Amino acid sequence: MYKIVEKKDLAPNIVSMDILAPRVANSAQPGQFVIVIVDEAGERIPLTICNYDKEKGTVNIVIQAMGSSTKKIAALNEGDYLKDFVGPLGRPSDYVNADIEEVKKQRVLFVAGGVGAAPVYPQARWFHEHGIGVDVIIGAKTKELIILEDEMREVAANVYIATDDGSYGFNGMVTGLMEELIVNQGKEYDLVVAIGPMIMMKFVCLLTKKLGIKTIVSLNPIMVDGTGMCGACRVTVGNETKFACVDGPEFDGHLVDFDEALKRLAQYREEELELAKRGEE
């Protein structure tokens, strides 16, 4: 059993929870995820790791209450327990094990859509801890759905906000703000890391391909059980078939067949779709 030691509301239907899980906290790295099982009857829910504190032994997760299981998790309170909390799973982001001197030369832009800000945060923090300032775009439909802005400002060199309805920051999609920064203002990046809804990542990749900027995406939204068994996260990357939960979740976005992955997502029944999206809209 894994205790919820802190719970915070981040936005309507979006909560943040610190879970006491010292072994997971101790080995967690940016890019990885956990599988949460709420109770005996609960399904396996893959959730990205938002933060981890090795000293306290806690792991922070962000949950958007959409399907029945995520609603059940979000309804729990401090002092309650999760039946299972398995991880860290998935491969850490490439830069974690790369030559740090090479990583330091990269000018990096993170693009976070909706609760995609949660998995972006530990990555921006990792760069900050290694003395590298990164830029971050956080996008959401409205101002009230922008999450982790203050936390991101503490670890990023620049944070830019975009809302679809113009209620805060740039008025429009994250791709519009990227064009504003890169094309109009002349900002230069060597790497873009995009994490958010599949459709957002697809359009970020179309833009960065045009601009010639290497792009990494995290295919968390298509994971269902996170075990490598259900096949829901099967995706074509280049000419190869990959499983997001085992081979990823991060891939070269310019090689991902988004249309095929989006088609498969659409085939799932409503509840499975909610699980697959896992609150990343």
Q: Which chain residues interact with ligand FES by CB under 6 A? A: 223-233, 243-245
Smaller CB separation from ligand FES, 36 or 162 = 36
Q: Considering beta carbons, is residue 159 or 219 the nearer one to ligand FES?
A: 219
What tokens appear for 14 in the block?
């979006």
Nearest approach, Cβ of 231 to ligand FES (angstroms)?
Answer: 5
Please give the C-alpha separations between residue 41 and each of 44, 69, 72, 83, in angstroms, as whole numbers: 10, 10, 11, 10
User: Half-sphere exposure of residue 54, counting CA atoms within 13 Å on the CB side?
Assistant: 4
For the bound state, the minimum distance from the C-beta of residue 251 to ligand FES, rounded and expressed in Å, comes to 13
- Would you say 171 or 241 has its CB closer to ligand FES? 241
- Strands (DSSP E) contained in 27-83 are 33-37, 45-53, 58-64, 81-82
Cα→Cα distances 275→64, 135, 263, Å: 10, 30, 16
Give me the least distance between CB of 247 and ligand FES, in Å please: 9
CB nearer to ligand FES: give 138 or 232. 232
| Cβ(213)–Cβ(189) below 8 Å | yes
Give min distance, CB of 126 to ligand FES, in A. Answer: 24
User: CA of 144: how far to CAs of 63, 140, 150, 174, 240, in Å?
Assistant: 16, 8, 14, 16, 40
**Radius of gyration over every alpha carbon of the chain, rounded to an integer in angstroms:** 18
DSSP at 200: H
Amino acid at the residue 183:
V
Q: Which is nearer to ligand FES, 24 or 232 (CB)?
A: 232
Minimum distance of ligand FES from residue 234's CB (angstroms):
7
Nearer Cβ to ligand FES, position 112 or 219? 219
136: Cβ contacts below 8 Å, ≥ 6 apart: 109, 110, 111, 112, 120, 124, 152, 156, 158, 159, 160
Residue 244, helix vs strand vs coil: helix
Nearest distance from residue 181's CB to ligand FES, in Å? 34
Taking the complex as a whole, the smallest distance from the CB of residue 253 to ligand FES amounts, in Å, to 18
Cβ closer to ligand FES: 66 or 233? 233
